[in-house]
Chain A
Amino acid sequence: MIARTAVLALLLATGVAAAQGLDWSADEVRAVLRHGPWPPPMRPDPSNRVSGKRDAIALGEKLFFEPRLSRDGRLLCASCHVPYRGWQDGRARALGLAEVDRNTPSVLNVRMQRWFGWDGAGDSLWAQSLRPILDAREMGASAAQAAALVRGDAEYGCRYRRSFGMAPEADDEAVLVGVAKALAAFQETLVSGRSAFDDFRDALARGDAAAAARYPRAAQRGLRLFVGKGACNACHLGPAFSNGEFHDTGVPFFIRGGVDPGRHGGIRRLQASAYNLLGRYNDDRSGAAATRTRHVALEHRNFGEFKVPGLRNAALTAPYMHNGSLATLADVVRHYSELDVERLHADGEAILKPLRLTPQDSADLVAFLESLTERESALGERQAALPCSP
């Protein structure tokens, strides 16, 4: 451990010639190391008493693929969050019972977020998980329908008892929240596998130049842009490549019949929600989990802001942006290269400037983004669940 620390200190002090002549400065190495290690440890959600519990995860998985949670019995969570499509749907805008105005985000790595949904209207993964069940345009169900399913199906009733240590409550809304907490417990297990970038990052961390050299040169150049001239890591930071916050990146936000207010509407919905962490369904008795909800403030700048998405497996989750308006990663890079600063307030998003990338720079940045794709899934094959025994 001491030797490893010493090597890292040496790297940070002197920089490193990682591969094929591409020298990395100490600052660059430090910036790259902040994007790992991967995967990060699991930290149970204190607001969800069944977070991390095996029985609840199994219940949540079953519910995730359950069509009877939708009004017409044909839609399931996995209709939009399709496992073989990177846990999204490949559409510009999601299609439930009707088409909605936003792109379906992947639920891979969703447990690393602090606000949920493009507008952050959910302050917990379980609160976010019940929203599409109730949304008339998505699954269009109700608390009564969800509760009737759990109470009326012996298998669900059994699993609910094993997960929560009690029979489904008499109150429909309480059962719906239980369903959502089990769904959240399952989604917390959805973590992407390691990527070529992770191997490079860890090689840098241990000072292994030979291993680092295996990372494609184009991806290295793109990474250098990402943490350097592009300053992409100002928002896409940390192991999940997101600061979890909301920004106006100059993407138009008109929708049919008006505009999508983004974070501004999200804060309003969050504050009005009976399921936020200030409400009675928060299992965290310390109050700590609700701190951010208590203090979130509505500002004019929130109008038209959308959440910074994580970038892991981005190559598998086209199209991009909150409304799916950009078809490819190259389009996204072009957006930031040619950014229309007139769409940004002069004192709003000061960090954003047109990158004016050369074609080579753009291709390198895309190569880097593609290198964030998992080499293989970290998730095991889905197993047929054994019947629940009380």
Chain B
Amino acid sequence: MRAAALLIALTVLGTARAAELPVFDAHVHYSHDAWESLPPKEAIVLLRKAGLKRALVSSSGDDGQQRLYAEAPELVLPSLRPYRSRGEISTWVRDDSVPSYLEERLKKFRYVALGEFHLYGADADLAVPRRLVQLAKQHALFLHAHSDIDAVERIFRQDPGARVLWAHAGFERPEKVREMLRKHRNLWCDLAFRSEHGSGGKVPAEWRAAFLEFPDRFMVGTDTFTPERWHYIVEHAQWSRQWLADLPAEVAERIAWKNGETLFGSLLRR
């Protein structure tokens, strides 16, 4: 009876803790069709409603997240995509005009990362992605890479000191993710658009092992790849709190927001 009461008390405490947990959303896009349907003020209201501490935001083109940043600089961390408009996901790697576009934006605005960009396999060694990696190094920016393992390896070969936020953890199995994290100390993962690590509010053993081995290397993210998905940010944050509550409190806090804050929080103050 006493044990049952204790369990209930812990559950209540755990739920309360989970409900209060701030979230650093490491994967938000605010592209032109989003800002047309959801103006910056309304977008910020949604981010606050979700209880976000910060959000790493990129957009196609870049004007969207600059508008958002102007609206709430304490909440929005801008990241620069190599896409001037939607539709350049698969063409940017061979588009010679991309580097000068990036350089121009980097002169005008402040960022914490380059990306999210889509880059696979040997394309990572093409001239345009190489320049992107150089620019990241030159400006001390993270690379937010939606990439397969091959492309991530090539990025690190180009710049062993690169800092890579691996979008969706490459959609790789947790064992493979752990291998990559062991191999590359400057690799972090966002868990956006994945569900299996927290389905039903429970963390399966293989993911638990990954989170416990690398509590400093994971972040959550919504991935608002269409404007409609902005209306999912609140629910996603709540979903994240539910599965994070299945982890030790300290690990949950790190993944929920501390990792993002530690890595990105001070970059704009440089």
**A residues at B contact (CB < 8 Å):** 252-254, 258-259, 261, 264, 297-301, 303-304, 341-343, 345-348
Contacts and interface: CB of A to CB of B under 8 A. Distances in A.
B42 to A, nearest CB: 12
Contacts of A342: 31, 60, 86-87, 89, 225
Residue from B193, B226, B236 with most neighbouring chain A CB atoms (10 Å): B226
Contacts, number: 55
Contacts of B54: none
B226 A343 contact: yes
B224 to A, nearest CB: 11
B58 to A, nearest CB: 14
B99 to A, nearest CB: 22
B195 A347 contact: no
A299 B192 CA distance: 11
A298 B226 contact: no
A301 B228 contact: no
Contact of A298 (B37, B60, B195): B195
B262 interface: no
Given A259-B228, A345-B225, A300 B86 contact: no
Contacts of B168: 347
B200 interface: yes
A300 B31 CA distance: 20
Nearest to B170: A347
A347 B171 contact: yes
Contacts of B86: 342
B231 interface: yes
5 contacts: A254-B228, A300-B193, A300-B236, A345-B225, A347-B168
Contacts of A348: 193
Contact of A299 (B199, B228, B231): B199
B146 A346 contact: yes
Interface in B206-248: 223, 225-229, 231-232, 236, 239
A254 B37 contact: yes
A82 B194 CA distance: 41
Given A254-B37, A342-B86, A304 B228 contact: yes
Contacts of A300: 193-195, 223, 232, 236, 239
Chain A contact surface mostly: loop
A261 B89 CA distance: 26
A253 B232 CA distance: 12
A341 B199 CA distance: 27
A346 B119 CA distance: 11
- B interface residue count range (under 10 / 10 to 19 / 20 to 34 / 35 or more): 20 to 34
A345 B193 contact: yes
B10 to A, nearest CB: 25
Interface of B: 31, 37, 60, 86-87, 89, 118, 146, 168, 171, 193-195, 199-200, 223, 225-229, 231-232, 236, 239
Contacts of B195: 297-301
Contacts of B193: 300-301, 345, 347-348
A341 to B, nearest CB: 8
A304 B230 CA distance: 12
Contacts of A343: 225-226
Contacts of B31: 342
Contacts of B118: 346
Given A297-B195, A342-B86, 9 more contacts: A252-B226, A253-B228, A259-B232, A298-B200, A300-B236, A343-B225, A345-B193, A345-B223, A346-B146
A301 B86 CA distance: 20
User: By CB atoms of chain A within 10 A, which of B60, B200, B228, B239 has the most?
Assistant: B228
Nearest to A297: B199
A259 B229 CA distance: 9
Nearest to B168: A347
A258 B228 CA distance: 8
Given A342-B87, A345-B223, A346-B146, A298 B228 contact: no
B228 A252 contact: yes
Nearest to A299: B195
Contacts of A301: 193, 195
Contacts of A341: 87, 89
Contacts of B229: 303-304
Which 5 residue pairs spanning A and B have beta carbons closest together? A299-B195, A342-B86, A259-B231, A259-B228, A303-B232
Nearest to A304: B228
A261 B226 CA distance: 13
Contacts of B231: 258-259
Nearest to B195: A299
Contacts of A259: 228, 231-232
A258 B31 CA distance: 18
Contacts of A346: 89, 118, 146
Contacts of B60: 342
Contact of B199 (A298, A304, A347): A298
B167 to A, nearest CB: 9
A299 B171 CA distance: 14
B170 to A, nearest CB: 10
A297 B225 CA distance: 22
A253 B230 CA distance: 12
B39 to A, nearest CB: 14
A70 B239 CA distance: 37
Nearest to B83: A342
Nearest to A268: B235
Contacts of A299: 195, 199
A136 B151 CA distance: 53
A89 to B, nearest CB: 26
Contacts of B171: 347
A317 B194 CA distance: 36
A348 B168 CA distance: 12
A136 to B, nearest CB: 22
Nearest to B192: A300
Contacts of A258: 231
Contacts of B200: 297-298
